[in-house]
A and B are shown apart, each in its own frame.
Chain A
Amino acid sequence: MPDRFPGYDVLSKRWTPSWNQKTREVINRRLALTNEPRYLTAEEFALVTVIAARIVPQPGHRPPVPVAALIDHQLDRDQGDGYRHAGMPPLQEAWRQGLRALNAEAQAAHEAPFDQLRTADQDALLTQMQEGKLKDAAWGGMSSATFFKQRLAHDIVHAYYAHPTAWNEIGWGGPASPRGYVRMDANERDPWEAAEVKDGDVEAARRKNRHVG
């Protein structure tokens, strides 16, 4: 996919009034996360990495988002959402059980663990999970559809869009305090916002994005 916001980097605003101290601390901590599991086992961590690549496939030209590390961090802190559907175990247990069940399904269907399947087969299994069609005993009392929507894809999507790389891709203004925004009407852009490619003029957008700060 061609870059819609060429050269835009939300991190270029890190030392401007758009970021307060608390935000810098929080984002710095997030960016400093290493790609090593703390809660998950190495195998589970690798599996999450493979699944995340299907749920949120990353374009190659931006710094990668360490989705598995972010999930692992969430699990390590046991940071739940404040609710779970009847039949769903708590956060950590749900992830462990769901990953086990997915591998069991992969074995049953293709006689190989999930991360060794062709991507088309991986996608097919994930689609079946989303539709609640996976019923292996390994799921326990958990509905595969609920696991997909409330846990697996939910947590992966949240992890991905917690990262500045993802913010750059979608042209979001990012952190904004104390400086917020001035120009509110349609097609109005503050000089510290992302510029989108218009009428195919990539260079014009890139020029504007270089001055974001």
Chain B
Amino acid sequence: MSDDPLLSPRAKAGRAPDVFAPGGWIPMHAYREDEAVDFVIVGTGAGGGTLACKLAEAGFSVVAMDAGPYFRPLEDFASDESEQTKLYWTDDRIVDGENPLQMGSNNSGKAVGGSTVHFAMVSLRFRPEWFRSRTLLGYGADWPLDWREMWRYYAKVEQALKIAGPVTYPWGPPRPRYPYRAHEMNAAALALARGCEAMGIGWTETPLATLSAPRGRAHPCVYRGFCTTGCSTNAKQSALVTWIPRAIAAGAEIRDLAMVGRVEVNDAGRATGVHYHREGGWRFQKARNVVVAGYAIETPRLLLNSATSRFPDGLANSSGLVGKNLMAQSNQAVWGISKDEIRSYKGPPSLAITEHWNYDDNKDFFGGYSYMSQGPLPQLWANTQMSARGLWGDSLMAEMERYNHVVGLKIVGEMLPQESNRVTLADAKDQYGLPIARITYSWSENDRALIDHSLRFMARALEAIDAREIWTQDDDTCHLNGTARMGGDPRTSVVDADCRSWDIRNLWICDGSVFPTVGGVNPSLTIQAIACRTGDRIKALAALGDL
């Protein structure tokens, strides 16, 4: 049998890979397919991995499936951009609309641990007002969640991931001290700080899910700078090295290289399990509850692909909103050349941040943005020069020679929900014979206004620190949310505050799909907070006999 985790599953026969030891194993419970487990979870990223842990620790029987491989980072991860594309979801998808999204790399993961295996570890809280943006700020939709409750869950996740953050955070209501101290800022982060000071706005060290001190068997960060291509030292507190080992220790089973193609629903309108593809064939796992946690593209795709005669428009879709209101986040940047050697490839890419424009409402558009320092690796940087700036030939080569002097600022900006931005099914099929996703995306006027504001502001911040030859990269987006929004009304939402679908009460959705709005911060901490809350709610509902 091959030991290539991309070719044959590792988590089987009562054991799973030990992510902390090359070649190591840990014991894992194995459930039978023909006996219903309490929960089968589709996806093991920030949503599914976290929820698997919480449910298993609450005593439920849990099987969590992931279409991707089960890596041991210490032995499987190379320091190489090309090789590490193995972490991405590179199955075919079609993009269209006025502003087609770039998929496959920064916003899609295919591995046990999901996108958290290659995320930039930026762990931010939503601004409290965003949970009621419609009522308080006049745009988007209100969340059915109270910000104080969410802030309690944020604190729990920060503790669980040993987030390394500043001693005091400059924006928003007081929060508890981060469990670990902030990392040393690199030259790129110091440039951000100098720019902010010149512009008279606040900045701080970015709260990051990578260790600044040892933890258990995980080493502190060595500042190798390959974060978004996978952390080979386990400093990164991904779901793969945090929630999932905990879930297995609590009795959950993880199945890798297990692609779920269809959620089965019986005549009574209840989910009964999932059909999944593993080791060359289709199989069926019985379950009393099904949780879909495939992120904002694969979640609606699975729900749409699971249509039956009773649910012809796909599961949980009586509102017609499954797949709609897809929200990326704007990820525009301003770049310049410094006379200093910046060498931004050293350290995590975003070591410093300003959330000023998330908390300042004196602006001519809805929503907010944060911006962070950047550290692109060579392939990404060369392609940015080619695609965003149009450089090739001698001009590209000359520009690349100045790689070590590049300094840049990049936003994570709020994009507003629009029903026309959506995931549908295309005619083409993937390697499992399942219709692939078509992703349609166009920016709104407000999205453009936010981007323009950010680019103007960041350009001034770069000028203020004497960067030269400043140019703007205006085509990038990051993160994906929406497509199965939560709400208080079955007519205008797909799931309730507990991530439970209105239509099929034993079908749950627990990932970034449930976001009614995205805010101007990276979503992973919020996804994990929602998953923790959902775990607690399921436990409470079970105690009431309401599952």
User: Closest Cβ of chain A: how far from B352's Cβ, in Å?
Assistant: 12
User: Closest Cβ of chain A: how far from B210's Cβ, in Å?
Assistant: 11
Whether B92 lies near A54 (C-beta < 8 A) is: no
Whether A23 lies near B79 (C-beta < 8 A) is: yes
Whether A171 lies near B393 (C-beta < 8 A) is: no
Most interface-central of A57, A82, A149, A187 (chain B CB within 10 A): A82
Q: Write out the residue numbers on chain A whose beta carbons fall within 8 Å of the beta carbon of B392.
A: 54-56, 126, 130, 153, 157
Q: Write out the residue numbers on chain B whose beta carbons fall within 8 Å of the beta carbon of A175.
A: 78-80
Whether A181 lies near B397 (C-beta < 8 A) is: no
Q: For the complex, is B155 an interface residue (Cβ under 8 Å from A)?
A: no
User: Closest Cβ of chain B: how far from A67's Cβ, in Å?
Assistant: 12
Whether A79 lies near B78 (C-beta < 8 A) is: no
Whether A187 lies near B223 (C-beta < 8 A) is: no
Whether B379 lies near A157 (C-beta < 8 A) is: yes
Give the B-binding residues of A (Cβ under 8 A): 1, 4, 18-23, 25-27, 30, 54-57, 59, 79-86, 90, 123, 126, 130, 149, 153-154, 157-158, 160-162, 166-167, 169-182, 184-189, 193-194, 196
Give the A-binding residues of B (Cβ under 8 A): 75-83, 85, 88-96, 100-105, 108, 184-187, 190-191, 221-226, 232-233, 338, 340-343, 345-347, 377-379, 381-383, 386-387, 390, 392-394, 396-398, 400-401, 403-404, 438-439
Knowing A178-B233, A180-B225, A181-B347 are in contact, say whether A154-B378 is a contact too (CB < 8 A): no
- Our pick among B104, B186, B340 for the contact of A81 (Cβ within 8 Å) is B104
Whether B379 lies near A186 (C-beta < 8 A) is: no
Whether B104 lies near A176 (C-beta < 8 A) is: no
Q: Write out the residue numbers on chain B whose beta carbons fall within 8 Å of the beta carbon of A158.
A: 82, 379, 382-383
Whether A19 lies near B401 (C-beta < 8 A) is: no
**C-alpha spacing A185/B189, complex, angstroms:** 9
**C-alpha spacing A79/B401, complex, angstroms:** 28
**C-alpha spacing A175/B229, complex, angstroms:** 12
**C-alpha spacing A147/B100, complex, angstroms:** 14
**C-alpha spacing A193/B108, complex, angstroms:** 32
Q: Write out the residue numbers on chain B whose beta carbons fall within 8 Å of the beta carbon of A18.
A: 79
Q: Write out the residue numbers on chain B whose beta carbons fall within 8 Å of the beta carbon of A84.
A: 92-95
Grouping DSSP codes into helix (H, G, I), strand (E, B) and loop, the B interface class, with mixed when no group exceeds half, is: loop
- Our pick among A19, A30, A154, A177 for the contact of B222 (Cβ within 8 Å) is A177
**C-alpha spacing A48/B82, complex, angstroms:** 20
Whether A180 lies near B224 (C-beta < 8 A) is: yes
Q: Write out the residue numbers on chain B whose beta carbons fall within 8 Å of the beta carbon of A90.
A: 92
Q: Which residue of chain A is the closest to B221 with respect to CB atoms? A: A180
Q: Write out the residue numbers on chain B whose beta carbons fall within 8 Å of the beta carbon of A25.
A: 78
**C-alpha spacing A120/B247, complex, angstroms:** 61
7 examples of A-B residue contacts, CB within 8 angstroms:
A21-B75, A23-B78, A26-B78, A83-B93, A84-B94, A85-B95, A180-B222
Q: Which residue of chain A is the closest to B338 with respect to CB atoms? A: A186
User: Closest Cβ of chain A: how far from B390's Cβ, in Å?
Assistant: 7
**C-alpha spacing A194/B341, complex, angstroms:** 11
Q: Write out the residue numbers on chain B whose beta carbons fall within 8 Å of the beta carbon of A189.
A: 341, 343
Q: Write out the residue numbers on chain B whose beta carbons fall within 8 Å of the beta carbon of A179.
A: 222, 224
